[in-house]
Amino acid sequence: MKAISQEIKDLSIKSLESTFNKLTNAHKSTIEKGSNTTLVKKRLNAVKMGLESLKGTWNGEDFCYKEESVLTSIEVLQGIIPSIEKQILKAKEGSPQKTLNERRLTALKLAIESLENRLR
């Protein structure tokens, strides 16, 4: 991976941790409602794997997943990006929502890059 500042690394990890926590809560809520959990579960697993990949790359933490799982996670994370880009376009300049989504977008792109590097 290209050189990334420590600030971007820290913000990206925090962003993915926040996303993971939100998806965990959404998953619990979906189960309680008796709704279909497939999409939330896929996203939850993909964000978890992306987060672990970044932590592994930047902090030397363990990362052990099969190639098929990594490929699936890359695909799921790439599928999240268009909706975040739309939210960024709709948000007012300088708003907390825009900043949050810009950080989330950066974190997802870095996670995808990190996962792709694990396939090489």
Per-residue pLDDT tens over the stretch 48-90: 999 999 999 999 888 889 999 999 999 999 999 999 999 999 9
Give residue for tokens 């309680």: 32
R_g over Cα of the chain: 15
Instruction: Give the C-alpha distances (Å, rounded to integers) separating 9 from 75, 82, 92, 100.
Output: 22, 22, 25, 15
How many degrees, rounded to 5, is the angle at CA 78 between CA 21 and CA 74?
80
- For residue 1, pLDDT over 80 is answered with no
Question: Which stretch of DSSP H or E encloses residue 54?
Answer: helix 38-59
Enter the pTM of the model.
0.94
Separation of CA 99 from chain center: 16
Tokens of 2: 């290209």
Question: How buried is 15 (Cβ within 10 angstroms: 0-12 exposed, 13-18 middle, 19+ buried)?
Answer: buried
